[in-house]
């Protein structure tokens, strides 16, 4: 199974996807999943990734594959 997905025309790994959402480096990253939702901005496909920006935080992030839209759900 490939971990790489195309986001806005670029191949990204799960780590790179999490960094795009977080706008910073992250410590731990789960594999990329296809989110069961469409982008609210352009209706494109949305990818989901769970990551840890720090040892105490677990974040679920979403990123559109076609535009700049992204969202992060932090506790």
Which residues in this chain contact Zn ion in the complex, by CB under 5 A? 39, 41-42, 44, 64, 66-67, 69
* Cβ contacts of 1 within 8 Å, gap of 6 or more: none
Nearer to Zn ion, 11 or 38 (CB): 38
Task: Rank residues 4 and 8 by Cβ distance to Zn ion and give the closer one.
Answer: 8
Residue 38 C-beta: closest distance to Zn ion, Å: 8
Which CB, 30 or 69, lies closer to Zn ion? Answer: 69
**Minimum CB distance to Zn ion, residue 65 (Å):** 7
Distances from the Cα of 55 to the Cαs of 36, 69, 70, in angstroms? Answer: 27, 26, 22
Shortest spacing between CB 57 and Zn ion, in angstroms: 25
> CA 27 to CA 66: how far, in whole Å?
26
Which residues have C-beta within 8 Å of that of residue 54, sequence separation ≥ 6? 27
């Amino acid at each position: 199974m490939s971990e790489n997905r195309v986001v806005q025309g670029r191949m990204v790994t799960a780590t790179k996807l999490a960094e795009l959402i977080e706008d910073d480096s992250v410590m731990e990253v789960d594999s990329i999943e296809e989110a069961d939702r469409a982008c609210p901005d352009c209706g494109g496909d949305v990818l989901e990734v769970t990551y840890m920006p720090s040892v105490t935080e677990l974040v679920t992030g979403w990123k559109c594959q076609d535009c700049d839209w992204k969202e992060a759900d932090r506790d």
